[in-house]
Amino acid sequence: MAGWTPDEIPDQTGRTVVVTGANSGLGLVSARELARHGAHVVMACRTPAKAERAAEQIRAEVPGASLELRELNLASLASIRAFADALTADHPEIEVLLNNAGIMMPPRSLTEDGFELQFGTNHLGHFALTGLLLGALQAGDTPRVVTVSSIEHRPGRITFDDLQREKYGPRSAYQQSKLANVLFGLELDRRLRAAESPLISVLAHPGYSDTNLQRTGPTGLMRGLLEVGNRILAQSKESGARPQLYAATAPGVRGGEFYGPTGPGEIRGSVGLVTPVPRGRDEETAARLWEVSEELTGVTFPLPAPAAA
């Protein structure tokens, strides 16, 4: 896979792909490249006007792109349920769910349901969405769930006694949400295998990529540092999207794999397999987080718990 580019994406004609956060950054690049290769792309975005502008941009580059715009606010369980109900009514079979959307290091605030915004959006929102789309995904042709994490998962800690981060640090809360993405993606894979499901769960991260995340969430000194980092270290959003596009489309991808840049520190470089930190592979933590996530969201997955290792 060294040197892989989106030009190598297989024909996606007839496949329905859902991309969260498709109006900018990695999501916009992913939606464009998937549409370029024939997929019907559902652009799941919080702000309809931004989604319309993004769709116009894609159509200008990919005439005839098959796009469908749907409103989705991952910080609202009511919005997630409404989105899932309407989508599955129209698309009983879905081939790929790309859990791409995210928010990074804002001042502390809460979702509509009272969750810390980063944990609620980045993890709980995608957890609930995946569960509500599970039936349609399992009915798809060689289906995949791709959950996008970050190199910031490495120092992350799941603080079960303070998941909503009353003791708030913007970066540590972000790191918790990205570690939760890894734990969820791997636990989902274990449960799908226990169920002998055709659906696979795969992880990806973009390294350090220049996207709107660094400009719309952080404030103060952190925002300034990230702006400098964007100019000196970051790769383009086109390069940053490659791991998730590979995970979503490449032949031979297996459940439980994690794709990212393979250069020093996984900051940039060719797409390849990467390894989560040991905390991300801890099955006891993953099982506990799964149970808590079902309780908090009210979304349960009709999948058996994996056998104890």
The residues carrying an active-site annotation are 174
**If you ran DSSP here, which 8-state letter would residue 259 be given?**
E
β-bridge mates for residue 96, sequence order: 17, 144
Tell me the CA distances in angstroms from 301 to 106, 127, 246, one per residue in order.
Answer: 30, 10, 26
Q: What DSSP element (H or E) covers 230?
A: helix 220-232
- The whole-angstrom separation of Cα 18 and Cα 26 is 14
* Cα–Cα distance list, 207 to 106, 149, 155, 230, 260 (Å): 20, 9, 15, 12, 7
Measured CA to CA, the distance from residue 206 to residue 67 in angstroms comes to: 24
Specify the DSSP element, H or E, that contains 289: helix 283-297
Residue entry with tokens 């464009």? 32
Length of the chain: 309
The tokens describing 259, both together, are: 């794709």
Indicate the pairing of strand 200-204 with strand 16-20.
unpaired
How far apart, in whole angstroms, are the C-alpha atoms of residue 278 and residue 259?
16
Report the alpha-carbon distance of residue 123 to residue 126 in Å, rounded: 5
Angle between helices 25-36 and 48-61 (to 10 degrees): 40
What's the half-sphere exposure (Cβ side, CA atoms, 13 Å) at 230?
14
CA–CA gap between residue 196 and residue 185 (Å, rounded): 16
